[in-house]
């Protein structure tokens, strides 16, 4: 698989931990509204990309697809939950849904890539 040739050794886990810390800091700090483009809220792109990057970070550190999916899903959900008591942040099912879609699409792309690569 693609992950076997990428990020070997223990340093990737350090980067994974740093990425998770930065993700949670981003969940609690005050961020001004990013606005909308043609009626589409830009923050949804941020949620999509962070979920994709978190999943890929777990996957490239050599976790299985299922474990990477579950860990990314758990951390993204926890990220939404920790926003509930913070007055300047708001938890949202729409944000979580976008994150889940991002993870599932990434899994689909990885599976499609592996099928075409092995054919």
If pLDDT is split at 50, 70 and 90, which confidence band does 54 have? very high
Provide the pLDDT confidence category of residue 118 given band limits of 50, 70 and 90.
confident
Residue 37, strand partner residues:
40
- Report the predicted TM-score, pTM, of the whole model to 2 decimal places: 0.80
Write down the pLDDT at residue 9: 54
Cα dihedral angle (8, 10, 15, 17), rounded to 10 degrees?
130
Which residue is it, tokens 């001004």? 32
More confident residue, 56 or 12: 56
Structure confidence by residue, pLDDT tens digits, 38-49: 777 888 888 999
Tell whether the model's pLDDT for residue 5 goes beyond 60: no
Domain segments of the chain as ranges = 6-28+43-118
């Amino acid at each position: 698989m693609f992950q076997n040739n990428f990020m070997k050794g223990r340093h990737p886990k350090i980067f994974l931990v740093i990425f998770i810390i930065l993700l949670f800091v981003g969940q609690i700090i005050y961020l001004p509204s990013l606005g909308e483009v043609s009626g589409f809220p830009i923050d949804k792109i941020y949620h999509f990309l962070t979920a994709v990057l978190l999943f890929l970070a777990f996957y490239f550190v050599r976790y299985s697809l299922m474990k990477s999916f579950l860990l990314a899903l758990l951390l993204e959900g926890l990220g939404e939950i920790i926003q509930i008591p913070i007055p300047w942040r708001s938890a949202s099912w729409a944000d979580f849904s976008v994150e889940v879609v991002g993870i599932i699409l990434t899994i689909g792309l990885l599976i499609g890539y592996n099928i075409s690569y092995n054919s």
